[in-house]
Amino acid sequence: MNPLLTLNSLGQSVWYDNIQRSMLSSGMLQKLVEDDGLKGVTSNPSIFEKAINGSSDYDQALATLRSENPDADARALFFSLAIEDIQAAADVLRPVYDASDGKDGMISLEVGPDLAHDADGTIAEGRELWKRVDRPNLMIKVPATREGLAAIQQLIADGINVNVTLLFSTQRHEEVMDAFLSGLEARLKSGKPINTIASVASFFISRVDTAIDSMLDDIKTEDEDLRKKANSLKGKIAIANAKISYQNYKEVFGSERFQQLREAGAQTQRLLWASTGTKNPNYSDVLYVETLIGPDTVNTMPPATFDAVRSHGHPHLTLEHGVDLARFQVNMLPEVGITLDSVTDDLEAQGVDVFAQSFDTLLEAIDNKLASENFQNAASA
C-alpha cells in the first residue's frame, strides 16, 4: 500500500507544502489527490518567491495584470497572481473538502509577512484575502506572534478559516488554542454558526533540531557525563517538543470548555507538523514524518519529503510513544545550558524575518521583470 495512503488511514492528513502554476496547469495537483490521497496544500512567501522569481510560469499573467492595472504596485500584482493559483488549487481540492465535511481539502494563503507584528493590519488583510479568494476551503495563514494572537481570535470570530503558522513553543501553542476557542465563543455568542470553521496550528519541527543541535555541538566541556547528555539530545528535541504539544492539544480539546463548542458543531484546531523536511543528512529523510504519526493531525510535506515517504516510508502510530521520555529530554536541556523558550523565541523572530526577506525579494523581482526590456516587449506584443 502507498505509505501516504497509510498515513491517512492512521488519522493523519497528508498535505503538500508547495504550490506553483505548473502544478495546476499540468494536472500534477489533481494526480497527487487521486494517487496519493493528498488532502491539502500550504504556501508561504518563500514558496511563492521561488515559484514566481525562479520560473517564467507567471510572466504572461503578470503582463496581463499590468496592462489591466497600470498603476498597481508589485505587492498588489503579487496577491493577484497568488489568488489565481489559490483559487485554482482550491477548486481541485474542493471534492476533498466536501467529502471530509470541511475538515480537509484546504489551501492556505498567508497575509503579508510585513504585518506579522500588526494585529489590525493582519485582520484587515485577512478579511480582504478571504473575500477576494471566495472559496470555503481557503485558510488564511497568520503568524503565531504575540500580535498575531488577537488577529487569530478575530478572524475565527469572523468565520474565517485560519492556519496559524511559525509556531515553535508549547507555551505559544497554548495561547493559540485559547485564541481559537475565544474566537469560537465570541462567534457563538453573537448567534452565528461555528460548524464550518476549520483551523490548524502549524508547529515547526526541523528548525528546532537545527538550532538545538548546533548549540549542543558548541558545548565545550571536560565533563564526560555532560558530553554524553548533550550527545543524547541531538535530533531529539524537535520531536519531543511536538509530542508534548500534542498532549496539550488533547487536554484542551477534551476539556469541558471545548465540549460546549463541540456540541454547537465546532471542529478541533488540529496540530499540523510543518518544516518536516530533514535538514541534517545524518538523519533519516522521513524522520519528521515517521516519529509524529497520530490521529487528528496533519503533516505538510515539502516535495522531497513527500516523495521519500511514498518511496520508502513505513508509517505506524508513533506520536504518543515515549511521551515521558520526551518530557525528560526537554527537562534535561537546562542541565546542558540551553533554555528552550529562548531558542523558540529566536526561531519565531528568525522565521518572520526569513519570510519578510523572501517577500521583499519577490516584490523586487516583480519590479525588475516589469522594468526589463524583454518583459515590456512581450507585454506589448
Q: Is 250 a catalytic residue?
A: no
Q: Which of 337, 374, 335 is nearest to 219 (CA)?
A: 337
The helix/strand/coil state of 233 is coil
E-only strand ranges, 51-198? 106-110, 138-143, 162-167
Residue 135 corresponds to which amino acid?
R
CA–CA separation, 269 and 168 (whole Å): 16
- The CA-atom distances, in angstroms, between 368 and each of 199, 371, 378, 381 are 37, 5, 14, 19
CA–CA separation, 102 and 39 (whole Å): 11
User: Please, are residues 115 and 145 in contact by the beta-carbon 8 Å criterion?
Assistant: no
* CA-based torsion, 233, 234, 238, 240: positive or negative: negative
Per the listing, cell 498575531 goes with: 148
Angle at 131 between CA 28 and CA 96, to 5 degrees: 35
E-only strand ranges, the chain? 12-16, 40-41, 106-110, 138-143, 162-167, 199-204, 269-274, 297-301
CA–CA separation, 110 and 44 (whole Å): 6
From the candidates 39, 141, 229, 369, give the one annotated as an active-site residue.
141
User: Please, are residues 117 and 145 in contact by the beta-carbon 8 Å criterion?
Assistant: yes
CA–CA separation, 353 and 314 (whole Å): 36
CA–CA separation, 322 and 94 (whole Å): 37
User: Please, are residues 147 and 121 in contact by the beta-carbon 8 Å criterion?
Assistant: no
Q: Which of 295, 320, 248 is nearest to 13 (CA)?
A: 295
CA–CA separation, 47 and 268 (whole Å): 27
Catalytic amino acids? 141
